[in-house]
Structure 1
Amino acid sequence: MLSTRSQKMVTGVVIVTLALFAGGYAVSTQHQPEPTADTRPTTITHETRSRQLHTPDPALLAPMPSDLAGVEPEIELTMDADGNLDTTPELRQMFDFYLSNVGDEPLDRVMERINALLSRQLDGPALAQAHDLLARYVDYRLALDSIGDSLAPVETANGFDLAALQSRYDTLNSLREKQFSEAESDAFFALEDVQDRYMLEKLKLEQNTVLSEQGHEQALAILEQSLPEPIRLARERATRDADLYVKTQSMSAEGKSAEEIYQARASVVGDEAATRLARLDDKQNQWKNRLSQYASERNDIRDAGLSPDDQKNAIKALRTRLFEGTERLRVKALDPEL
């Protein structure tokens, strides 16, 4: 039987589940627009690969979608002394940024945007290596999307299924070994792999019915100390901040004053941070009001009897009118929940 501590692990285990087959986007053909005269096939095949790997003329590319325009990551790609590509976490960040728009744009067009950016910063062997790595990364995401649903569910009536999570983790690593070199995997996935392994080990301890309460605590403390220091310190801050958040939310629900909430925060994080959090409260309240306005106007658009294309364009124009820059990406992600 899971202990009370296990209930606090839901967020942590979700990290594992998301990292294994539930990424922020899915480069899947089932989510692509229907092919028309203006949209080329989005399925990656050997036939389309040759088109996707060519270097397009940036002047011929369509304008960036309004949700992404002006918020592109500023990433400097580098080469070693022999002209080979330096594979970095930032390169994957760049791939993910543009691939997140698959669904609003055909995959071919997204690939063209990425390849144009690669060609502006790289040449020679490094450019060819970047093209190849991009193609393999997209294949990897496609593979995740195709096999994820075929695996056993990670939740049961009794909680998380450790065996199912371990199977997904093993499948994920096997797929990475097939698609990437060790150096590429380290650059792209090292951080999330550390977090995934940590959460799996933590879940094993939480489901261990042999250890005593004290044994659990000691084993968890040892596991925590095994994390790299930057991750461990970040987790400590996150735990502290999460506890403080729960406390202040409870105080707010009880009708405590802004000053009382400020003092509770200041006792934990100091006056300067408490002041910033108070300002953040104001911004969040304003944000919630704007989201409510957006949801109301969006629903009016949905009820207006527009064609699917006109409805999509009208909602996109609404986001452009009410929000700026990265706000549009946040609203786009939140839209199904509003």
Structure 2
Amino acid sequence: MSARGRAGLMAFALAAAGALALWATGGSTPPAQSPVAAAPPMPQRTGPAPFPFVPSMAGTEPDGRLGAAGDALKVDAELRHLFDYYLSALGEAELPAIRAGIEQELARRLKPAAATEARRLLGQYLAYKRALAEAGQDVSAPAAGTAFAAAARQRLLAMQELRKRYFSPAEAAGLFGDTDARDQDAIARLELVDDKSLTPGQRLQKLAELDRKLPPALQEERAAPQRVLNLEQQVEAARNGGASEDDIFRLRAAAFDPQGANRLAQLDREQAAWLRRIAAYRAASAGLGENQAAIQQLRDNLFTSSEQKRLGAYE
């Protein structure tokens, strides 16, 4: 297959993933971030940093870089990201506790008038999510083939209509404009897949047209993984040529920034430690034969329960 053909298939795969996320989450999932993208610093907090809201959030910072113009709240996707960060704790914490945690975070980051407005929007957002969940119970899963793109578009339109009950047009655009652009692009790409009247060349041409129409932020989001891949290919070649870890750090820092280079170096260390544990496990388990109890004990000693789910790929 040609490089252009592979690129086309990759774009279609990304589109399908985006539409599946739309169907499953109601379009409110925060965008994935590049592992090396330099994030602006979080706003300065007052008082000591709080303990993790729930155990699974240990080592993380609440999402969302909240903004305000004077006392006026900036209503944008960052506010939704903060809400969703805490709402992801459902199952570990009850909704009233989650809402209280969000309100405390708003009070830490915002001036009183902006915090009051943010709390109002939080209430509207929770009501919208409840209504969306109730409406979703009446929606059957999309059919395979051509029905999928049409069903995804219908669901997006239904969500946008539902938002009108809870948000002004400006609020809806601020909170959901980024996900709507991503979902609309994904659906448009799926519709190209479904259009059997197009030749492969025509489909690639229309795909390129969609690429050109992407908002700058979405173009950057799409380009970031390829830049990371290109860089890591350079890193592999440099290591094969005898480059030191300092050389690798400088190479990554030149391509991104020192913070990104540090994060990638940490990922290298974590991957190396993981592979060492895998090697130790394989060496030790080789002498245990079919003794499943002993093998499980070895797994428990070397890996957490979540890590054990990854072992199948190595066994």
Quickly say closer, same or farther: Cα 1:261–1:106, change in 2 above 3 A.
same
Q: In structure 2, the residue corresponding to 1:179 is in which secondary structure?
A: coil
1:1-338 alignment to 2 at 5 Å? Answer: 5=8, 9-22=12-25, 64-73=53-62, 77-81=66-70, 83-122=71-110, 124-156=112-144, 158=145, 161-239=148-226, 272-273=251-252, 280=267, 283-287=270-274
The answer (yes or no) to whether the contact 1:176–1:185 under 8 Å persists in 2 is yes
Shift, 1:238, TM fit: 3.1
Q: How many residues align?
A: 257
User: Percent identical across equivalent pairs?
Assistant: 26
The answer (yes or no) to whether the contact 1:20–1:172 under 8 Å persists in 2 is no
Q: Distance in 2 between matches of 1:160 and 1:285?
A: 45
The answer (yes or no) to whether the contact 1:21–1:148 under 8 Å persists in 2 is no
The answer (yes or no) to whether the contact 1:75–1:94 under 8 Å persists in 2 is yes
Shift, 1:147, TM fit: 2.6
Quickly say closer, same or farther: Cα 1:108–1:272, change in 2 above 3 A.
same
Shift, 1:107, TM fit: 0.8
TM-score normalised by length of structure 1:
0.59
Q: Counterpart amino acid of 1:183?
A: A
Q: Counterpart amino acid of 1:286?
A: A
- Structure 1 stretches of 5 or more lacking a match? 27-57, 249-257, 264-270, 294-299, 305-317, 324-330
Shift, 1:278, TM fit: 9.0
Q: In structure 2, the residue corresponding to 1:172 is in which secondary structure?
A: helix
- Structure 2 stretches of 5 or more lacking a match? 30-46, 242-249, 256-260, 281-292
The answer (yes or no) to whether the contact 1:6–1:206 under 8 Å persists in 2 is no
Q: Distance in 2 between matches of 1:136 and 1:126?
A: 15
Q: Counterpart amino acid of 2:53?
A: M
Shift, 1:169, TM fit: 1.3
Q: Distance in 2 between matches of 1:101 and 1:120?
A: 20
Shift, 1:112, TM fit: 1.1
Q: Distance in 1 between matches of 2:156 and 2:27?
A: 17
Quickly say closer, same or farther: Cα 1:77–1:203, change in 2 above 3 A.
closer
> Alignment RMSD, CA only?
4.7
The answer (yes or no) to whether the contact 1:162–1:200 under 8 Å persists in 2 is yes
Q: Is 89-98 or 67-76 further displaced after alignment?
A: 67-76
Q: 1:313 maps to which residue?
A: none
> CA-to-partner distance for each residue in 1:179-213, whole Å, 9 max, x for gaps?
22222222222122111111111111222122223
